[in-house]
Amino acid sequence: MNDVLALLDSQDPSLAPAEPEDRAVGLAGSLRVIAAMEVYWRSITVAQHALWFLGKTRGKKVLGILYAGESPSAAAIDGSESDTIVAGRALNLRLCPTTYANALALHAALPFTKPRTLGLRTSAGCGDRLGLATPGHVRAIRKTAIAPIFTQQSIREMERTDRTPEDVVNDATWGVLQEGWRDGYGADADHLKSRADIDVCVAAGFTFYTFDPREHVDNDAHTAGLPVLREKVAALPWDRLGDTEAAMRARYGRTFAIEEGLTLAFDQETLLRAAAKYGWALAHVAELYRYLAETMGEAPFEVEVSVDETDTTTSPEEHFFIASELKRLGLEWVSLAPRYVGRFEKGVDYIGDLDAFDQAVAKHAAIARRCGPYKLSIHSGSDKFSIYPIVARHTAGLAHLKTAGTSYLEALRAIATIDPWLFRDILDFAFERYETDKATYHVSADPSLAPHSSSLADGELTSVLDNFHARQMLHVTFGSVLTTRDGDGRFVFRDRFFAALESDEEAYYRVLETHFDRHLAPFTT
């Protein structure tokens, strides 16, 4: 117990360096006795003459704060306080639930737990549909110099999992504390489409905002003939764009030197196609950006622009047009996701010609350097192992990898070993739900080529996650698995799902760490 007192006797109120593992493990043992709960040793933090730690008791995670005398920072966090004697000294022990309100108070007390902006560093978005994955993500990120976004979820995913923006911020906050991650992380409000989306995410504390104007992209313009393109361009919202067609034609009436070996030229058809295809989307994004800037006030924020979830690819000329027009409209952004060649289906590797992708990404990366610099963003980036080296090579660090559903799939991998019968039930359910749930996703799984649970021994269940067709089926049915109720209003799977993962947290963290090591390694060499 003297080790605990020695830390509390520190005269420096600032954040103390993290304790070495052997010492932290010993401290966790002492705190286990004092607080009567298991303590996550990496969470132990000394700051403001108090010892902060995260523990678990009766299946619930609890914030513990141990201090002598008074502590305004501790008092700001809702909880129950008691007196305790440690090695003959009277101390205060405050035990606090891991609520969103307490997460906000923790952000003030321990600023490393609060999301922040990340700038142009190579980054990775680690989506977490369950709210349990951050510790596994941290363990993989810790081996790299990559800037992480641990708080990431789209509005669509939140709706499908019955989560709120506050839930997403809250869960990542406590995961960051649990693992003692002090090197900063972002919070991505993904695929925002409206002012209402912005409002709820700003209120929750996000720092990174991804605008998704897919509904305003005119995919028909991709193949339309010149007469139709002229009509479409004439009908663009020129007042909202602060522009005229004549002025636009004049701006692009020359050749643009991007980098050595790459020049772009806009003939009439190329320019009109780019404008017709993306003009309405640019107006929409500009309005969302201005609203976000007004809403955020003096608070720092970052923006990503995404046109990836569209039916047609973004040519180098169209990418240059988008970036040039965003700059003219006064926007600042850190990353942009064009629609690349090939297929970026959910949960599986890239489908397409790797040589064609290589050539296209080289041009997109050059444009990002010329028009920014900003990062090229890879959406639906989970499990695209064949393209990571290509992206890393051409972007030279200006890359953002965005993952989401793969962490849910790795949860299923863990469940296959923890509770095989639950995994079998979920797999059977995926066959029932796939045709309905795939509607809003780019997938091509054929259920007839996926294994049924009845054909597998327990030891073969994890192999299901390596089957293309089963993997996509399980990927897109996540919302139904997490929210479906029976006739009595009880969750069919959700409670069993979380109970299984919480019964063996380390099993989930291990598979996540291994899986994300594969994702991140190409971007670290």
Give the closest residue to 115 by CA, choosing from 199, 202, 185, 167. 185
pLDDT confidence of 1, banded at 50, 70, 90?
Answer: low
Rounded Cα distance between 211 and 190, Å, is: 7
Q: Which of 477, 451, 445 is nearest to 351 (CA)?
A: 445
Dump pLDDT digits (tens) for 337-357: 999 999 999 999 999 999 999
Predicted local confidence at residue 358, as pLDDT: 98
Residues 306 and 134: their CA atoms lie apart, in Å, by 24
- pLDDT at residue 70 greater than cutoff 90: no
Q: Residue 443's pLDDT is what? A: 93
According to the model, what pLDDT value does residue 309 have? 87
The SS3 of residue 341 is coil
Model pTM?
Answer: 0.97
Could you read off the pLDDT of 21-48 as tens digits, one per residue?
A: 999 999 999 999 999 999 999 999 999 8
Q: What is the pLDDT of residues 221-246, one digit of tens each?
A: 999 999 999 999 999 999 999 999 99
Q: What are the catalytic residues?
A: 190, 304
Q: What pLDDT is stored for residue 11 in this prediction?
A: 60
The topology under which CATH files domain 113-218+277-406 is TIM Barrel (3.20.20)
Domain segments of the chain as ranges = 2-110, 113-218+277-406, 414-521
Residue 71: per-residue pLDDT: 87
Judge contact between 335 and 400, C-beta under 8 A: yes
Rounded CA-CA distance 134/185 in Å is: 11
Average pLDDT over residues 112-137: 98
Instruction: Provide Rg for the chain, Cα atoms.
Output: 25
312 closest CA partner among 211, 444, 220: 220
Q: What is the pLDDT of residue 186?
A: 98
Strand partners, 335: 304, 375
* CB atoms closer than 10 angstroms to residue 270: 17
**Spatial separation of the C-alpha atoms in residues 24 and 484, rounded to whole Å:** 42
